[in-house]
Structure formats: structure tokens, C-alpha cells
């Protein structure tokens, strides 16, 4: 369980904000903020990117750069494709991956460490960070022409007070072993553990408004 290694995926393209991973949070680029955090929680870090500015920059010896091929940096590229490419070219079979998205800048070191402790329990093949959602989403459904298709008929007519808590992945933390990933050829989802973060710290940078909101939160030092 000592072989934790951080992985930061950074893609050049972004529909919401141009050069999103290079944008400043509290005067510091998103990717630098993520790398510094990775250094604090694990001994080693891999940065998987197609961004020339990052690939041409010098880092400490514990930060390794992996150049992502253009075909794995499209809008439609899934993360499992990015990871399969990395694991096929870099020997990490004995490592536990702590995947950290740079677009979650309000994630705190303690969040990662607590998620790592949950993984260390040995109960889960994958640990993810989540946030709380409104339970009435269980009453939602899909449209099929003129027909309403409930997500789950068991909850469609339940009172709001009777609905269970609902959680959603916030994209900040994913922890899993490379060995399990390669066995499944994808994220190992047999047993998923979770670490719940506050909704405020779960903001994922996708728009310029998100950037402003996060900078305001950091300026006010209000990360509850």
C-alpha cells in the first residue's frame, strides 16, 4: 500500500474555457496548483499532457512528464483510453494511482489523504470523491418521443422525506490500482468506496464564472 503515485491528466483543448488548465487561480496556473498538491500527498507524480508549455518546462525529478498523443486528446476521448495508453507505455503495474483533476482547485490535501486511507482499508477496488445532490433527482426520467421513462420507478411516487441520500462523483479524486485497471481494461468498479467533500470544495472549473467563484472563495479563505 506504499506505492501511491499521483497522476494529473491535462488536456490542451477545452470547449468551456480556452487553455483551461493554464488559467490562474490565486495567481497560480491550475496545473501548477495540482502538481504542488500532488507532491505534498505522494512521493511521485506523473503529468499526462499534450500541452507544449508544460512539456517544455523543467520539473523536480519526482515529477515525470508523459506526452499524450493527439489521438488521446480529443473532446470525445474517454479517460480510460488515456489511462490505457499510459499504462501500456509506462511500467506502473505495482502502483496505486491517485488521479487528481487540475480543474478541482478547492480540493484540500486532507481530502486526498482521507480518500487514501479509505482505499488502504482493502475493502474497495476504487475510491472516488463525491458530493451530495438533491434526492428528488430520483424522481427524474428520460423522454422517449411522447413517453416519460422514470430513472427508477421505485422512487417515482415516494414522498421527498422518504428518498435516500443521493451522491454524485465530483471529479476531484479517483484511487485505484494499475493492476486492477489492466485486468478490467477500465476503472475497477466491483466495489466502489467514497469520500464525501463539501459542495463548495467540489466546484469543477468549466466556465469563466467558475474561475471567478473559486478565486473569490480562496480570497475569503472560506473553504468549508
Average pLDDT of the chain? 94
CA nearest neighbour of 34 among 173, 177, 210, 133: 173
Q: Is the pLDDT of residue 3 over 80?
A: yes
Judge if pTM exceeds 0.75. yes
Q: pLDDT digit string (tens) for 28-58?
A: 999 999 999 999 999 999 999 999 999 999 9
Chain centre distance of CA 145: 34
**Residue 149 to residues 134, 140, 141, 142, Cα–Cα distance (Å):** 20, 9, 5, 5
Per-residue DSSP letters for 55-101? HTS---TTEEEEEPPGGGSSTT--HHHHHHHHHHHS--TT-EEEEE-
Give residue 1's pLDDT band: very low, low, confident or very high (50, 70, 90): very low
Contact (CB, 8 A) for 181 and 97: yes
Q: What is the pLDDT of residue 9?
A: 97
User: What residue ranges define each of the domains in the chain, with the CATH number in brackets?
Assistant: 4-132+167-219 (3.90.550.10)
Amino acid at each position: 500500500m506504499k506505492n501511491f503515485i499521483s497522476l494529473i491528466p491535462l488536456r490542451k483543448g477545452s470547449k468551456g474555457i480556452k487553455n483551461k488548465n493554464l488559467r490562474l487561480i490565486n495567481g497560480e496556473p491550475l496545473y501548477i496548483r495540482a502538481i504542488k498538491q500532488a507532491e505534498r500527498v505522494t512521493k511521485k507524480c506523473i503529468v499526462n499532457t499534450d500541452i507544449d508549455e508544460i512539456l517544455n518546462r523543467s520539473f523536480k525529478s519526482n515529477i515525470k512528464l508523459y506526452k499524450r498523443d493527439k489521438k488521446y486528446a480529443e473532446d470525445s476521448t474517454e479517460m480510460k483510453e488515456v489511462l490505457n495508453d499510459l499504462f501500456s507505455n509506462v511500467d506502473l503495474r505495482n502502483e496505486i494511482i491517485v488521479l487528481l483533476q487540475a480543474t478541482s482547485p478547492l480540493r484540500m490535501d486532507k481530502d486526498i489523504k482521507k480518500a487514501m486511507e479509505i482505499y488502504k482499508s482493502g475493502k474497495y477496488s476504487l475510491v472516488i470523491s463525491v458530493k451530495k445532490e438533491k434526492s428528488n433527482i430520483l424522481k427524474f426520467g428520460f423522454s422517449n418521443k411522447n413517453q416519460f421513462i422514470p430513472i427508477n420507478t421505485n422512487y417515482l411516487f415516494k414522498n421527498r422525506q422518504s428518498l435516500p441520500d443521493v451522491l454524485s462523483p465530483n471529479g476531484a479524486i479517483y484511487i485505484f490500482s494499475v493492476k486492477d485497471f489492466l485486468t478490467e481494461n477500465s476503472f475497477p468498479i466491483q466495489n466502489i468506496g467514497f469520500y464525501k467533500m463539501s459542495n463548495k470544495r467540489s466546484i469543477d472549473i468549466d466556465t469563466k464564472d467558475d474561475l471567478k467563484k473559486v478565486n473569490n472563495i480562496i480570497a475569503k479563505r472560506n473553504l468549508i
